[in-house]
Amino acid sequence: MTKVFTDGLSFALPLLIMAVGAIYSEKSGVTNLAIEGFQGFGAFIGALIAVLLMPVMGNGSQAVIYIAMAGAALGGGVYACLHALLCINFKANQVISGVVINILSVALTAFFTSSANTAISGTSSNKLILGVSTRFSVPGLSDIPYAGGLFKNMYPFEIIIIALVLFFSYLMYKTRFGMMLRACGENPQAVDAAGGDVEKTRWIAVIISGALSGIGGICFAYSLLANFSPSIYLGYGYLAIAAMIFGNWNIGTTAIVCLIFGFAKSGGYQLCIAMGLPSNYSDLFLMLPYVLTMLLLIFFSKKNHPPKAAGEAWDKGKR
């Protein structure tokens, strides 16, 4: 049971921070299917910085991980500017823009990864080797029967993600900026009439979306893969979008959905091991989050209420 909690949380939290980024973008009125691309490009930038710093600071340095997270946030935010430019300034179709940005991210990061390895080590490998982050247990809380598994063998980035989710929840629901951002996704004309800047607010929201997705991507690279490679694009970005939709664009309920996805994934894998099934069966159990996505889609899709202006290009002359 402890293993289910530990692995489930380490999967759910990076997924959650990406979903929060998606919520910010869509609450501002910009439909965002580009989370997968933001995740991958941000993770590449963070991984590249880590690979360059490890020979200087040491392979076991935790500071490298934190710097890589900051680099991933910067990389994801900068790459998100492309989506913002297309959707906000050029008024391109937001769904098509997201899909194209995802495809472009895969191609760019594959090329840059091979080029970086050629320059650094003389090989054309498509992987940037990172190693695995260290873990820790919370004294006292980790000794609680059953629930203590949530506080055992935690990655340091899990604490950072929890803090970021709390901060961006406060920013969304308790500040003037958050109120304006949510209004941009519901009635941008009212925001403009009140003197607000719809385009600027949407730009900020999309950049936040990219930064948070990049953080989620580098956390997946450190926890699940121990490297950056094209395999970072495993559909987790789309799974984060699904969590956002089933969470009804609300950070609190989206967090619950991400936890369900995380525990379903880790629980399925542990069930496979407990049953003594061959390793090739593990892929079937790892499909559980996606099966849950389809089931939730069947039962809850009619009850969702997306932002009214999501997907609509902002036209100042429209009333």
- Summarised one tens digit per residue, pLDDT across range 183-206 is 999 999 999 999 999 999 999 999
Alpha helices for 28-61 (secondary structure H): 35-57
Looking at the DSSP bridge assignments, the partners of residue 128 are: 228
Q: Rg of the chain over CA atoms, in angstroms? A: 20
The C-alpha atoms of residue 189 and residue 62 are separated, in whole angstroms, by: 47
Whether the predicted model's global pTM rises above the 0.75 cut = yes
Query: How far is residue 279 CA from its own chain's centroid?
Result: 28
- Cα 202 to Cα 88, 135, 182, 183, distances in angstroms: 8, 37, 10, 11
Residues 6+ away with beta carbon under 8 Å from 92: 86
The C-alpha atoms of residue 135 and residue 154 are separated, in whole angstroms, by: 5
Residues 6+ away with beta carbon under 8 Å from 301: 245
Contact in structure between 151 and 138 (CB atoms under 8 Å): yes
pLDDT of residue 7: 87
pLDDT tens for 235-280 read 899 999 999 998 999 999 999 999 988 888 888 777 777 777 776 6
The C-alpha atoms of residue 130 and residue 47 are separated, in whole angstroms, by: 7
Residues 6+ away with beta carbon under 8 Å from 160: 66, 69, 215
